[in-house]
Structure 1
Amino acid sequence: MSRKTEFIIVLSISCGLLYMESNSINIPQCTCGHCHVKKHKDSWFSKHFNASYHPLMTSNSSNVSTETFQWWKRLQRRHASGWNEYRKTVDKLFEIIPNKELYRDEGPDRCRVCSVVGNSGNLKNSRYGPLIDLSDFVLRINRGPTEGFERDVGSKTTHRIIYPESAIDVDNSTHLVMFPFKLLDLEWLISVFTTHTVKRGNTPVKSTIKANLSLVTVASPSFMKYVHEQWLEKHGFYPSTGFMTVVMALHICDKVRLFGFGADKHGNWDHYFGKTPPLYKTGQHGGTFEYNTIKELHKRNKIEFYRRW
C-alpha cells in the first residue's frame, strides 16, 4: 500500500469519526445559540419527545386510530359522538379552514424563537413585555389580554390558543389555534364562520368571533393523546390547554421561552388581569405534574422559564 493511499484512508477515518462526533454530541439542528432538540441524547427528554407527532391537524392526519378516537371520545362525556359523525364534521371543517401542513420547515438554517405566555399573576410588575415581543412567535392562551398590560406581557400576538368556552376575537394577522375536547367544539368552529347557530358547549359560548379564516387551525386528537400519555404519564383526565401549548412550542420552535406559568412567589394562584377565587383548582388536569414537568424542562435547558421571582 502506498503512503498516499495510507494517508487517504487515515484522513477518511478521521473525518468519519469527526462527523460522527459532531452529529452525536452537540451540533444544534438550528442556528440559535441553543436549540432545545440537539443531536446528543437526553434520555429523559427522548422518553417524552416524539417528533413524529405534529400538533396541527390536516384532513389526512384526522384519520386517527381507533385507540386514539376512543381516548378522545372519552373526553366528551355528555357530548359523545361516533366515528361517522366525527368524520363528517372533520370533512366539513376542512371545506372552510386551510387544509395544509404548517411549521414543517425545521432545519439547520432556522432559528425560530417562541414565547408561550400564560396568565399567571406572577407576570405582574415583571416588565417582561419587551423580551416577549422580541420572539418570532408569541403564543397566548385563552383570554389573556395585552391592552393595559403591555409592559409586563407585551403587545405582540402571533397565535391565540383557545377552546370554544375561552374564545375571543383576534385581529387579522393572528393565527387562531383551537384544541378540540369534543365533537361539539369542531361543530362550533364551523358554526362561528357559517350559521352562528352553536351557542352552548359546557357553558354558553360566543356564536360568532372575529378571526382571519385563512389563519385558523385545529390541534390533532393524536397530539392531545400523545401529550397526555407520553408527557404527563396519564396524570389528570386530560392535559390543560396551557401545557399542550408548551409541548406544541417544543415541536414547532427552536428556542422556547415560558412566561406566566405557576403561582407567584407567595404561592398565590391568580391571573395578571384579575383575581382567581382562593379555592382555585386545576380541575380535570394534573396541574402539579404539569408544573413539575415544566420545571424539569427548564432544569434540562430545554426551555427558558421566566417566573420573575
Structure 2
Amino acid sequence: MLTHPVEQNDHTYSTVCLCLTKHTYCSPFPFCQCHMNVSQHLTRCSTAAFSSSVASPLSLESALHSKRCQDGSQIGQHPSSHLPTVYHCHWELINSSPTPFLSRNYTSSEDDFIWWKHIQNERRNFDSYKTTVDRLFQIFPPIPDVVGPSPDRCRTCAVVGNSGNLKGSHYGPLIDSHDIIIRMNHGRTKGYEADVGNKTTHHVMYPESAINLDNTTHLVLFPFKIDDLLWLLKSFDPGENSANKARRANKDLVMILNPAFMKYVHEMWLGKKGNYPSTGFLTLALSTQMCDEVNVFGFGADRDGNWNHYFEILKNKQLRTGPHAGMHEHEVILKLKEQQKIGVFKGW
C-alpha cells in the first residue's frame, strides 16, 4: 500500500519514518549506475518489492533501502504508518558508500585526497594529510560515536538548515521531537525556539563558522583543507597558545567527516555538478547514515526567493549559492521527497 507524503496543515504534521527491514529493498539514485543524472535515476525508479539482505549499517545503501516504521516502535515512541510499496531502480552496478567519518582505522585514499585538495587549493601533499590525521586520533576518540540505521528500532533525524523560511514556521516542537537534531554553522536556537526548537545533538561546522557547544553536543567537523584539521588540533591541545583556541566543545564527542564521503556525495548524488556539495547537502547525506527517518527543515529559499538566514536581517536580496549547485541540490531533495525517502518541511 502506498502511503501519503508528509503533510503540512495548520502545524499538524505526519512524518515519514524510514526504518530498515531485512526483507524489503529499495534502491535510490546513488547506487544506479545507468549513465544518467540523479533526477533521471529517481524518475526511472519503478515500483517493486523483493527479498534482500541489508548491507553494512553504515552504508548509505542501507540507510536508504528502507521502509516506514511498523507499529510499536520503541525508540522515541513515534507514530506508526502504513508500510509503503518499496521502490527498486534497475541498476548496472551497486556502489556502496565510503564510511562517513574518519577514524584511527580508516583514512581517505590518495585519489580521494587529490579530489579534496582542489576544493580550496591545498598545497600540501598526501603524506602531510596522513600525518595530520594520525595526530588527530591521539587526541580524539579513535572510533566516532555513531551507530547506523537498524531494523529493530526507528531513530529519527531532524536536519535543520538556516533558511529564512523557518521564520514563523512554528516547527520548534516538531524539530525537538526527533532523536537526533543536527544544526549547521551559525545556526542558533536562543530567541528562535518557537520556529527552530532548542535541542541540538550534533552541530556541523568548520573553523570559519565555529560556535560554542555544550558538553553533550557532538562537534561534527567538515574539513575542506589541512588547516581545518590543524585548527581542530590546536583547539583541544592544552599546549597550544590560548590565542589559537577554538570554540568550546567536548573533545570526546568530536567527529570528522571523511573527505572520501564528500567526494562520493559530489559524484554519486550530484553528478559532479558544482565544485563540491554544500554543507547543507552533505549534512543531509550524512543523516541517512545515522537515522532511519530523516526530516529536513530550513532548506532552500524563502517565500520571496531569497537565500537568507532566519537569524539575520536580509540586506542584499540576491539569490546566491556560491560554488555549489544550489538549484540542482534543491531538485535532488525534492526528488527524494517524491520517492518518500525523506520528509521536507518548507517553512513559510
TM-score (norm 2): 0.74
1:220 aligns with 2:264: no
Matches within 5 A, 1:135-284: 135-194=178-237, 195-196=239-240, 207-276=245-314, 277-284=316-323
1:76 aligns with 2:104: no
CA RMSD of aligned residues (A): 2.9
Q: Quickly say closer, same or farther: Cα 1:123–1:182, change in 2 above 3 A.
A: same
Instruction: Name the SS for the 2:51 alignment partner.
Output: helix
8 Å contact from structure 2 (residues 231, 246) kept in 1: no
In 2, are the aligned partners of 1:129 and 1:155 still within 8 Å (CA)? yes
2: CA distance, partners of 1:261 / 1:49: 29
Change (3 A) 1:99 1:72: same
Q: How much has 1:105 moved relative to structure 2?
A: 4.4
Q: Secondary structure of 1:191's partner?
A: helix
- The alignment partner of 1:256 has SS state of strand
- Structure 1 distance, partners of 2:226, 2:197, is 34
Aligned partners of 2:306 and 2:318 also within 8 Å: no
Amino acid at match of 1:285: H
Cα pair distance change 1:290/1:97, threshold 3 Å: same
Deviation sequence 1:58-113 (CA, Å, 0-9, x none):
12221x22211110111131x42111111110010110111115434432112110
**Equivalent residue for 2:161?**
118
SS of the aligned residue for 1:165 comes to: helix
From the superposition, tell whether residues 299 and 66 of structure 1 become closer, same or farther in structure 2 (CA, over 3 Å): same
2:97, 2:264 within 8 Å by CA — same for their partners in 1?
no
CA distance 1:256–1:192, shift in 2 (3 Å): same
CA distance in 2, matches of 1:207, 1:118: 26
The structure whose residues are more often helix, as a share, is 1
Equivalent-residue separation in structure 2 for 1:134 and 1:56 (angstroms): 26
Asked if residue 61 in structure 1 is aligned to residue 99 in structure 2, the reply is no
Counterpart-to-counterpart distance in 2, 1:106 and 1:258:
17
* Partner in structure 2 of residue 42 of structure 1: 88
Amino acid in structure 1 at the alignment position of 2:101: L
Displacement of 1:236 in angstroms is: 0.8
Code of the residue aligned with 1:74 in structure 2: it is H
Q: How far apart are the structure 1 equivalents of 2:24 and 2:117?
A: 47
2:341 maps to amino acid = K
1:281-296 residue pairs with structure 2 within 5 A? 281-296=320-335
Distance 2:161 2:309 in 1: 9
In 2, the alpha carbon distance for the partners of 1:211 and 1:66 equals 31
Runs of 5+ unmatched residues, structure 2: 1-22, 26-48, 53-64, 74-79
With normalisation by structure 1, the TM-score equals: 0.82
Deviations 1:10-66 (A, max 9, x none): xxxxxxxx9996636x98486564799x9944329x79995542211112221x222
Deviation, structure 1 residue 290? 0.8
Residues of 1 paired with 2:131 and 2:289: CA distance?
29
Instruction: Measure the CA separation in 2 of the matches of 1:237 and 1:211.
Output: 30
Identity %: 44
Does the 8 A contact of 1:128 with 1:151 survive in 2? yes
> Which AA in structure 2 matches 1:55?
P
Larger Rg belongs to? 1
Q: How many residue pairs are counted as aligned between the two chains?
A: 281
What's the CA shift string for 1:200-233, capped at 9, x where partnerless? xxxxxx7321100100110001100001100111
Mapped to 1, the partners of 2:176 and 2:66 lie a distance apart of 28
Q: Measure the CA separation in 2 of the matches of 1:35 and 1:253.
A: 19
Aligned in 2, Cα 1:247/1:74: closer, same or farther, shift over 3 Å? same
Q: Provide closer, same or farther for how the CA distance between residues 50 and 124 of structure 1 changes in structure 2, counting only shifts above 3 A.
A: farther
C-alpha displacement of 1:281: 1.5
Alignment pair present for 1:301 and 2:340:
yes
Measured in 2, the distance between the counterparts of 1:141 and 1:209 equals 14
